Amino acid sequence: MAQEVRGIIARAKGEPVSLETIVVPDPGPGEAVVQIQACGVCHTDLHYREGGINDEFPFLLGHEAAGIVESVGAGVNDVAPGDFVILNWRAVCGNCRSCLRGRPQFCFNTHNATQKMTLTDGTELSPALGIGAFCDKTLVAAGQCTKVNPAAAPEVAGLLGCGVMAGLGAAMNTGQVGRGDSVAVFGCGGVGDAAIEGARVAGAHTIIAVDLDDKKLEWAKNFGATHTINAANEDPVEKIREYTGGNGADVVIEAIGLPNVYEQAFYARDLAGTVVLVGVPNPEMKVELPFIDIFGRGGALKSSWYGDCLPSRDFPMLIDLYLQGRLNLDGFVSERINLEDVEAAFHKMESGEVLRSVVMIDGVSA
């Protein structure tokens, strides 16, 4: 029987979000209903509200979440009611050319729930990233549920569902940071700090944080930055070379998505080094680089989408590292809020006041 629950809805471009009643159907074949416990407020949700993803309003926002599986549909075997799960937006198909070649982390045919959640008047909702988790309960494809150790707090675990995984994976998966490497990260928001944390966990020797905000540079130190550069006051390329024996960093991660910053990242790497783009540019942006420099400097220019993660492989491992005290996830949680506080959290995020506001669906706030 369908259930009526609370959800945060973006009805029109640029308009404040609203807390409304939504209808969640029973799970069909291959689907699951998840009781949401916590959901991080991510920039992607704001992009949806601003019409930056598409114009398929109204949106049910929220996607960076953890919770308990309440029920599953026919044919679901990987998760069961009562399982503690992190939601992901890459439910791999297992049948596309990438999956069949043993590269499911690049799956080209990821999928979401077939049924639609609605408003009480029957208006179909577009769930953010196929999830929609600023709500009491949501309907997802069962493959979007990744079972992890329930000893982890939901407000921490859920962060792996998007931004933190993107940053960790940019360093650990895409950038292949290894022991003794030097790493520079441009942009010290949530994704950039996660890249710094990922570089630390991977064994990087020198980790250089670059930003325009001294407060964010202080945050970066908490995640493992050994050096910081305020690019408003110093040339980041020259300083990175100074901190790396005049050579440049082995891996440079651009976590902003701006052409001029990408160019700086390109020249801040050592010969045969790697540049990883995890910041999201807008469609109008272009990069111009001398073709001879692309050839002559060697190495690799990579893009990292969701940290090139495979949720079934990476989420349980990262939660285990967290529970062992080897991965700092607590540091990303700036505040715990209620569902009705999401709009205010967007403003705090835009002004750089927080790394992550996390909605606690059980009403806990701080």
Q: What is the DSSP string of 183-196?
A: EEEE--SHHHHHHH
51 three-state secondary structure: coil
In order along its 366 residues, the chain shows pLDDT tens digits of 899 999 999 999 999 999 999 999 999 999 999 999 999 999 999 999 999 899 999 999 999 999 999 999 999 999 999 999 999 999 999 999 999 999 999 999 999 999 999 999 999 999 999 999 999 999 999 999 999 999 999 999 999 999 999 999 999 999 999 999 999 999 999 999 999 999 999 999 999 999 999 999 999 999 999 999 999 999 999 999 999 999 999 999 999 999 999 999 999 999 999 999 999 998 899 999 999 999 999 999 999 999 999 999 999 999 999 999 999 999 999 999 999 999 999 999 999 999 999 999 974 333
The angle that helices 190-202 and 214-222 make with each other, rounded to 10 degrees, is 30
Q: Work out the burial of residue 52: count CB atoms within 10 Å of its CB; fewer than 13 is exposed, 13-18 middle, 19 or more buried.
A: middle
Count other C-beta atoms under 10 Å from residue 252's C-beta. 31
Tokens read off for 5: 């629950």
Q: What is the pLDDT of residue 363?
A: 40
Q: What is the pLDDT of residue 364?
A: 38
Q: Determine the Cα–Cα distance for residues 242 and 258; give it in Å rounded to an integer.
A: 24
CA separation, residue 340 to residues 7, 110, 118, 124 (Å): 9, 31, 19, 22
Q: What is the pLDDT of residue 362?
A: 78
Residues 6+ apart with CB under 8 A from 158: 37, 38, 39, 40, 64, 65, 66, 67, 86, 87, 358
CA separation, residue 159 to residues 30, 72, 176, 286 (Å): 24, 23, 22, 31
Q: Determine the Cα–Cα distance for residues 112 and 135; give it in Å rounded to an integer.
A: 17
209 three-state secondary structure: strand
Q: Is the dihedral of CA 237, 243, 244, 247 positive or negative?
A: positive
Residues 6+ apart with CB under 8 A from 100: none
Q: What is the pLDDT of residue 75?
A: 97
For residue 182, give the nearest of 122, 127, 243 by alpha carbon.
243
Q: Determine the Cα–Cα distance for residues 110 and 96; give it in Å rounded to an integer.
A: 9
285 three-state secondary structure: coil
Domains for the chain: give ranges and CATH numbers. Answer: 3-147+334-360 (3.90.180.10), 167-305 (3.40.50.720)
For residue 175, give the nearest of 250, 103, 107, 247 by alpha carbon.
250
